[in-house]
Structures are given as C-alpha cells and as structure tokens.
Amino acid sequence: MSTAKLVLGGKEHELPVVTGSEGEVGIDIASLRNATSAITLDPGYGNTGSCRSAVTFIDGEKGILRYRGYPIEELAEKATFEEICHLLVYGELPNRKELARFKEGLAKHSIVHEGLRKILETYPRATHPMAILSSMICSMSAFYPWETEEDEQNNALLLMTKMKSIAAFTYKQAKGEPWIYPRTDLGYASDFLQMMFTVPNRPYAITPVQERALDLLLVLHGDHEQNCSTSTVRMVGSSQANLFASISAGVCALWGPLHGGANEEVIHMLQHIHDEHGDYRKTIAMAKDKKSGFRLMGFGHRVYKNFDPRAKIIKKAADDLLAEMGVKDPLLSIAKDLEEAALQDEYFLERKLYPNVDFYSGIIYRALGIPMNMFTVLFAMGRLPGWIAHWMEMRKESGGRIHRPRQIYTGQTQRRVPALDERK
C-alpha cells in the first residue's frame, strides 16, 4: 500500500502513504491544500501525526511503550535515570565509559548560577513551584549562550543537571530554608532528595529503597512521544526559539491538570474520599455525571486503551516501597478500591478508561515526603530528556519549517465597522 485515494467534489486525489518502522500507517496530506484548497480537521489532534520521530514507540491498544526500541518494563528494571537521559538525548544506552563521562559532565555543571539564584529568591514563598521552574529555565537564556549548535548541545547537558538543583531550590524557597548545594558523589535521584531534605545540623540519610523508587519514577516519565508538553516544545522550537525557551513552554503545558498536573489532583481526590470516610462511590458517580464537570483524576488516556504499562509498574513499586518503609498510607487502599470499582463499571469499560501514570505516582511521592505541589515538578524532571530529544530531532528533521496548523473559520463573514454611536 503506497497511496490512498480521496474523493472531494467528485474529483479523485491520490495521497502518499507513509509507513513507520512498527508498521503504523499515515496518509500524507501535505499536498492536499495546493491540490484542493481543503484542509483536514481534527480538533485536539486526536488522529493527526505532526512529525516523524525515532524517539519513542507507543501502541496504545497493546499497552506497549518503548524508548528507542527498548521496552519500558526492561528499562525500568535495568536502567537508571542517567542512562535513560543518555538513551533519549543521544540515541543509545551508554557503555560504562560513556556513562562515567556523562555523569562527570552532569556533576561538573550541577551548581546553579548566582544570577539565577538571586532571581529565584525574589519569588514570594507561596508561588507554585511550576511557575518558578518554567521561568528559571527560560531565564537560563540570560546566562548561557545559545547561538550555535554547539551551545545548544551544551545547554542540553546544563538543563539535565541544573533542573534538579532548581527544582530542589524551589522547595527550599517555599519553606524558607537555606539552600543545599548539589553533591557530585551521589546519583541523580539521591542528590535531588538530599537537596530537598537536608537541613543544617540534621543530615538527611537516603535509603537505597527511596533512591530507587524516585529513580524509577523518573525513568517511567522519560518520554511519551507527541503528548501535549512535548508537542509544545516542538512547536515553540520550530520558530527557532532556543532550547531554554522551548523547554520552559513545555513545563507550562505540563502544569495543567489534564496533563502532568493530574498527579497532584489524584491525591486531592483520594484525600477528599478519605475525608468522606472512604466512600469512593460518590466520586465515581460524580465522574460519570457530565454535568458535574469532574473527571476521575489519573484515569483515562488519549493513547492507551487497555492499560498504561507505566501505571502497572508504578502500582507495584508503590506497594513495595510502602512495605519496605513500613508506611501505611490509607490513600493507597482507597486508590485500589477506587480502581477496582471503576474497572467493573460500564461507564469506564465502554470508554476504555484505565489508571494512567499519575494514578499511583503520588502515593510514592508522598511516601518520600515530597509535598503535593512538587509532584508535577518531578514529572517535569523525568520528562526533560524526552523534551530535549524531541527538540533536537525536530531541529534536524523539520527542514526549518515553522509549525503552523490551519483552521476552519466559524466567525462572522465580512461586515462594516459601525461608528461608535451606531453600536448597540
């Protein structure tokens, strides 16, 4: 199959068909506009391919997720977040030597510029950390050059390491506690945890279980092909905005409750059920009632229609972590009851709504002592290598073409501008 036929106004048009390496089929409609002046309409881009990409493969029907060909289940078991960063951004898992060099680079640049620190200190303590994170990342363009391709390669490394320091500092700023500097002898997850939780005269001891739990969450958030924030990064970058500006826009896109902000909303929802003495049925009824405007947070996905492979891994990790830490979180059992009830309910079955990555991740963050308003910041830390990988791929492969969708106009047709007194 190499072409598709479209009949429009009685005229036949032949359109090329593109096939991906996993056999997915796309109809290339780029020539349609010139041939017919028609556009394709797909609000929310539910069935629109915006690019060709070699970063991540998802089969939503089968619950498959692979970064650069490697199944997420295997990566979750065998790779650390540093290795995932290398895999996504540079295309391959690092060998021992490459990993050592990469970690050296991360360690060398982990300190945050004094100028950025001064800006960060001006934020009121109640500021949401996602607001600070996005503006700090954009502000990096004031301190590091970004004119050449070499600059941008370097900036990718700077972002990967400074992001965790900035993220931890947003927390310290909100708490009014002194900042803790990064340590070069620790892995990514434990360095972040020590910057968050060390207070003067009371060193914070990170257990391997805690380190692994956070590292796993970062691994699982690494990339997810053309989701809202990644498409935003590509869109902004297509105007030739620099990497910092593009990633900062991605952070803002992630913030919303229908995207990365859902992990925070899940805990609000579970806490609300807990306060109502564990009666989750009301919440399910409300989620089914369209008039309520409420959705079951952490449920449903644009792409996954059977299960989200990340949610499966996270559910088990949450169980293991709480057991190993000896923590009993009532919200975990509420989450399990809620999941079980929803998965037996016609409404959710018919619409193929299953728990997504955000449903159980908050339980792990809570067990690690991470406050709710930092959950989405952690999602952003995990998603960063994916954003960078897509930005770099887009710069190489879009041929410099700006992203610019079309629309079907539904407003007024041409009319005369009335004088001020004539207006109703």
Q: Which DSSP string do the residues of 60-96 spell out, in sequence order?
A: TTTTEEEETTEEHHHHHHH--HHHHHHHHHHSS---H
d(CA 19, CA 27): 9
202 SS3 class? strand
Q: How far is the CB of 298 from ligand COA (least distance, A)?
A: 5
Using alpha carbons, list the distances in angstroms from residue 409 to 47, 313, 346, 403: 20, 44, 38, 19
Tokens at 317, concatenated: 């990790």
Q: Which is nearer to ligand COA, 86 or 366 (CB)?
A: 366
Q: Under rule CB under 6 A, which residues in 140-169 are in contact with ligand COA?
A: none
What count of Cα atoms within 13 Å lies in the side-chain half-sphere of residue 123?
24
Tokens at 217, concatenated: 């969450």
Contact range with ligand COA by CB under 6 A, out of 4-12, 81-89, 98-106, 351-359: 351-359
Give the catalytic positions in this structure.
301, 358
Q: Which is nearer to ligand COA, 244 or 354 (CB)?
A: 354
Query: Considering CB under 6 A, how many residues would be counted as binding ligand COA?
Result: 17
Q: How far is the CB of 232 from ligand COA (least distance, A)?
A: 15
Q: How far is the CB of 292 from ligand COA (least distance, A)?
A: 10
Tokens at 258, concatenated: 């229908």
Sign of CA dihedral 48, 52, 53, 54: positive
Q: Which is nearer to ligand COA, 120 or 338 (CB)?
A: 338
Sheet with 70-71, edge to edge strand ranges: 56-59, 64-67, 70-71
Residue nearest to ligand COA (CB): 300
Q: Which is nearer to ligand COA, 8 or 285 (CB)?
A: 285
Q: Which is nearer to ligand COA, 246 or 263 (CB)?
A: 263
Pick the binder of ligand COA from 353, 367, 374, 381 (CB under 6 A).
Answer: 353
Q: Under rule CB under 6 A, which residues in 263-302 are in contact with ligand COA?
A: 287, 295-302
Q: Are 356 and 301 in contact (CB under 8 A)?
A: yes
Report the Cα 368 to chain-centroid distance in Å.
20
What count of Cα atoms within 13 Å lies in the side-chain half-sphere of residue 392?
22
Among 221, 219, 222, 171, which Cα is nearest to 192's? 171
Q: Does 351 bind ligand COA (CB under 6 A)?
A: yes
Binding mask 295-334 for ligand COA (x = CB under 6 A): xxxxxxxx--------------------------------
Pick the binder of ligand COA from 219, 253, 262, 332 (CB under 6 A).
Answer: 262
Q: Which residues contribute to the site for ligand COA (CB under 6 A)? A: 44, 258, 262, 287, 295-302, 351, 353, 356-358
